[in-house]
Amino acid sequence: AVREPRAFLTTVTARLAINLAQSARVRRESYTGPWLPEPVDTSADPHLGAERAEALDLAVLFLLEKLNPVERAAYVLREAFDYPYQDIAEMLETSEANTRQLVSRARKRLSSDRRRPVSAAAHRRLMGVFLAAAQTGDLSVLENVLTEDVVSYSDGGGIRGASRIPVIGRLHVSKYLAAFAPRFWPEKSIHWVEANGSPAVLIQADGVAVALLALDVSERGVERIMWVMNPQKLAPYVAALNGGGTLSG
């Protein structure tokens, strides 16, 4: 019999997650265009968004993909769930010293790729300014809110039309947003929502979700623009919003 069912189940789950991450990485190598994490509706459970804010954040999940599956598992178990290093080592079938190195390496890689985020209120304010400028194609405002090395990622998964390469840099992203504004925004409805613990915007056409817009924001401005447009990723998120009655204009 299993002496500690909870520990056993956690270990099994961790190993399955690593295997799943390894197979998912192989699938993403043949994925059409940029890959973004699936959005999660955290509005129905404020505690989930508050307690797991960093681990659930879209930008963090995106950056976690740069880690190998074992590094990612060690980092999430430590940072999101506060497991002791010894317990993590047992789950991953490695030494405690190696586990500490895995977590340390993951922290360094993530911190080098991401600046300190701002408060939710500041995030929403800047997102409002960005959204208004993006809808009108206002180059001067866009250039003012975007960081010099901003990157725009559009995940359509080859199912829905989206840029198949990231757009990089303030000038290129500003011009890109201004160019597609007249074609994209007319006859779209905008809904402020919460995704992965942060403000986001759900964009619909005739009641059908066409994109979820999320931003990675720091004190410098908008660092990353993430357009989740793949219908297979949007469907579960929209279903959760509708189920919780949180979808509103």
pLDDT of residue 16: 62
Confidence (pTM)? 0.77
| pLDDT 10s digits, 16-63 | 666 665 665 555 566 788 889 899 898 876 665 455 556 678 888 888
Angle, alpha carbons 124-187-198 (nearest 5°): 20
**pLDDT over threshold 60, residue 185:** yes
pLDDT of residue 8: 54
pLDDT of residue 11: 65
Locate 47 and state its tokens. Answer: 């505690």
pLDDT of residue 249: 46
Can you tell me which residue has the tokens 């409805």? Answer: 189
CA separation for the pair 83, 74 (Å, rounded): 9
Q: Give the rounded percent of residues in the chain with a pLDDT score beyond 70.
A: 81
Kindly state the average pLDDT of the residues 138-144: 97
SS3 224: strand
Kindly state the average pLDDT of the residues 137-149: 97
**pLDDT over threshold 70, residue 168:** yes
As a 3-state breakdown, the chain gives helix, strand, coil percent values, each rounded to 5, of 55, 20, 30
Kindly state the average pLDDT of the residues 162-174: 93
Residue 115: what are its φ and ψ, rounded to 5°?
Answer: -90, 165
| pLDDT 10s digits, 83-122 | 899 999 998 889 999 999 999 999 888 887 777 778 889 9
Domains of the chain listed by start with CATH number: 5-30+58-113 (1.10.10), 120-244 (3.10.450.50)
